[in-house]
Structure 1
Amino acid sequence: MNNSIIDCQQLSKSFNEKIVINNVNFALNEGEILCIVGPSGCGKTTLLRCIAGLEPVTSGKIFIEDHEMNHLSAQARPVVMMFQQPLLFPHLSVLDNTSYGLKMQKMTKSLRIEKAMAMLKSMEIEDLANVFPHEISGGQQQRVALARALMVQPKLLLLDEPFSSLDPELRSSLRGWVKKKLKEWNTTAIFVTHDKEEAMVLADSIAVMKEGSILQMGTPDELYENPTSLYVANYISEGFSLDETFIPLSKIKVYKNEHGTKDHSDRYFTAKILAIFFKGGQRFIQIELLEICTEITIACHLDVSKNDTVCIGVSIDDMLSFTKGD
């Protein structure tokens, strides 16, 4: 027995002898939010579908609250999965969409209306109760889909890129709102996303997948500051690669000339300023490292202008080295 809501042990999945998920292991406690990131085709969505019971695993076991799920159908698992599109019933009102799961549980109409209205109120969309999906915005539709998912109080909520179809501003505001609600309700959730920033904002822990395997799993800070492979460093952290070495942006110093760089740094690079801009009250410069033809963006308060040449330096102790192929 353990305190995990979900415990995946040595999960593998193959399609026509092609391995899509390869020996995946992880566990989550109640209320934790995990974000799974990685390129298209790395197995993220297939992993969610296996947990939900929409795909059988080839080997390994899935436990939810210490109960093995492998033999249970999707309908019998205490799991709800949300997809990229809200998939609301177009002929049902927002209220009826929200209460649909309770109807399937044979709850009385008056009680399910009461519970659904309370949920809509908590999400600040109770005024939409009697309208239909085509009459509301994409962000409002996602809120309704989340309300419908949470009405049945699943032990585990799975979300497959639920904000991918939204514009950037709405996406940013909605994901913060969703995290707040999941934390309020102490809901355990697994998000799949391509968006590193989204994962850093939402997650208690992040799992980086590549070719069906989890390369590293940890808190956003752990993966950002201490990646265990060059792949994870390039995917999660910010910096640039040099051979089998990764240089984090946080360790880079910018100098106006080579003299200061040579006095304080073990390695230095000449860079040309391509652009200067402000974001979040900070001044940034976009530069090209001329020797290695790499562009990076870094905070900089030096009195410099576009097309100026600067030097950047870094200590060898701050450079992350990895075994070839990591």
Structure 2
Amino acid sequence: MTPSFITVEHTSKSFNKEAIFSNLSFTLNKGDILSIVGPSGSGKTTLLRCLAGLESFSTGKFLINGKNVTALEANKRPVSLVFQHPLLFPHMTIQENVAYGLAFQRRKKKERLRHAQELINQVGLTGYEKSFPYELSGGQQQRVSLARSLAISPNLLLLDEPFSSLDVRLRNEMRTWVRQLLKDQEITAIFVTHDKEEAMQMGDYVGVFENGQFQQIGEPEHVYHSPANAFVADFFGDHLLVDQETFIPVQSLFLSRSKPKQVGSVWEGIMKNKLHVHGHSLYQVFIEDLNQHVTVSSSINLTIDEPIYVSAHPDSVQTFTNQQQRNG
């Protein structure tokens, strides 16, 4: 069996005796992309900073390609971190920004500039070599930041919400472009976000993070359709939580103005909002008995605050998997 390329083993981090995360373990193979998604304050960024060496783990081991790098300083780890904002050097040209990290590898200037040019070409910025950061758009600056991170040929690339400052259209374009670049270059990466759609799109695997723990790690489709627990189901928001043990996928729910007969479950709801997504009408309905909002597709033309029945067939009720982590 081929050993894992990335191994995080029983790691924890505490500040002033307060646990940020504890007993985290996961593995990645070469070229895998893991998306870590969760609400703000759950510990995602702290984990990323520990992997980058900007913070130290309190306990546990971190191995890259079989080598224990837990005690290595940040500048000695084969790891690059792409931040939320590009953080480019304003007084340097784009080529100089990209080549910056190579100076610490004691490469000759001619070689540094040649390699930087190759990366500039890869990220689609040919012709901008002599430009300065202020002359570029936000998306272009983030591409430069990515090129600079790739320049040192990292074994692991960490991305901390790199698209959050971009507008919606550009964010979608960057997601597609960056994922394709990572797969083409077979770069192992960990991508942190609080956006569930972004996590599903970017990752080969999705890790749902909350309260310093992975609630579930798995392939995006599996995590979405087979949530491990109520938190995962509620976070993705496309399930109706019947109780702490069972749920109903929203695609199995139906809306009707009159109370349906011969169905498994029926709840009274109030229509609170109407959305239009990809040609479909979606209604956000509040079910008081369950204290939940659920978004359901329907062809019925409803008005705000109109009473509505939400129903489901008995065979649509599913049980949480309670499978928290994917084994490496």
Partner of 2:282: 284
The residue number in structure 1 matching 2:49 is 49
The one-letter amino acid of 2:253's match is: I
- How far the C-alpha of 1:185 sits from its partner, in A, is 0.7
Instruction: Name stretches of at least 5 consecutive residues in structure 2 with no aligned partner.
Output: none
C-alpha displacement at 1:298, in angstroms? 2.0
Q: Is the 8 A contact 1:224 1:237 kept in 2?
A: no
With over 3 angstroms needed to count, the CA separation of the structure-2 counterparts of 1:2 and 1:161, relative to structure 1, is same
**Aligned partners of 2:276, 2:298: CA distance in 1, in Å?**
10
Letter in 2 for 1:229: N
How far apart are 1:179 and its partner, in Å? 0.8
Equivalent residue in structure 2 for 1:269, among 244, 254, 267: 267
Is 1:20 matched with 2:20?
A: yes
| Partner Cα distance (1:39, 1:284) in 2 | 24
Report Cα offsets for 1:73-99 as digits up to 9, x if no partner. 111111011111111111100111111
Aligned partner of 1:316 in structure 2 is: 314
3-state DSSP class of the match of 1:127? coil
**Alignment-derived partner of residue 247 in structure 1:** 248
- Once the two structures are superposed, residues 253-298 of structure 1 have per-residue CA deviations (whole angstroms, 9 ceiling, x without a partner) of 3345323xx23x2001234444544321223233343654543322
Distance apart, 1:47 and its partner CA? 1.0
Asked whether the equivalents of residues 34 and 190 of structure 2 are also in contact (C-alpha less than 8 Å), the reply is yes
Partner secondary structure for residue 80 of structure 2:
strand
Residue aligning to 1:67: 67
**CA distance in structure 1 between the partners assigned to 2:57 and 2:18 by the alignment:** 13
Q: For residue 306 of structure 1, what is the aligned residue in structure 2? A: 303
Equivalent pair of 1:270/1:290 in contact (CA under 8 Å): yes
Are positions 1:196 and 2:196 aligned together? yes
1:169 counterpart SS class: helix
Structure 1 residues 53 and 2: alpha-carbon distance in aligned structure 2, compared to 1, 3 A threshold: farther
Q: Which amino acid aligns with 1:252?
A: L
Indicate the residue corresponding to 1:107 in structure 2. 107
Q: Which amino acid aligns with 1:312?
A: V
Q: SS of the counterpart of 1:228?
A: coil
CA distance in 1, matches of 2:56, 2:217: 24
Distance in 1 of aligned mates of 2:320 and 2:190: 29
TM-score normalised over the length of structure 2 = 0.90
How many Å apart are 1:156 and its aligned residue? Answer: 0.2
Map 1:1-20; keep pairs closer than 5 Å: 2-20=2-20
The Cα shift of 1:319 comes to 2.4
Asked whether the 8 Å contact 1:2–1:66 carries over to 2, the reply is: no
Q: Superposed, which structure 2 residues align to 1:161-240 within 5 Å?
A: 161-240=161-240
Find the residue that maps to 2:127 and give its secondary structure: helix
For structure 1, list consecutive stretches of 5 or more residues without a partner in the other structure: none
Q: Displacement, 1:240?
A: 2.8
**In structure 2, distance between residues paired with 1:153 and 1:194:** 27
Structure 1 contact 20–43 (Cα < 8 Å) conserved: yes
Distance in 2 separating the partners of 1:82 and 1:275: 37
Distance 1:310 1:63, change over 3 A: same
Report how far residue 236 of structure 1 moved.
2.6
Are 2:115 and 1:118 aligned? no
**CA 16–274 in structure 1, closer or farther in 2 if over 3 Å, else same:** closer
Superposition CA RMSD, Å = 2.2
SS in 2 for 1:269: strand
CA distance in 2, matches of 1:59, 1:305: 55
Residue 258 of structure 1 aligns to a residue whose secondary structure is coil
Contact 1:5/1:156 (8 A) holds in 2: no
The answer as to whether partners of 2:207 and 2:215 remain within 8 angstroms in 1 is: yes
Counterparts in 2 of 1:91 and 1:196: CA distance versus 1, 3 Å: same
CA contact 2:254–2:296 (8 Å) conserved in 1: no
Give distance in 2, aligned partners of 1:150 and 1:205: 22
Identity %: 40
Q: Secondary structure at the match of 2:200?
A: helix
Q: Secondary structure at the match of 2:45?
A: helix
**Contact (CA 8 Å) 2:8, 2:24: kept in 1 or not?**
yes
1: CA distance, partners of 2:44 / 2:73: 20
2:40, 2:269 → 1: CA distance?
33
Point out the more displaced range, 111-120 or 48-57.
111-120
Give distance in 2, aligned partners of 1:50 and 1:219: 24
| 1:2 shift after superposition | 4.0
Secondary structure class of the residue paired with 1:23: strand
What is the aligned partner in structure 1 of residue 137 from structure 2? 137
Deviation at 1:115, TM superposition (A): 2.1
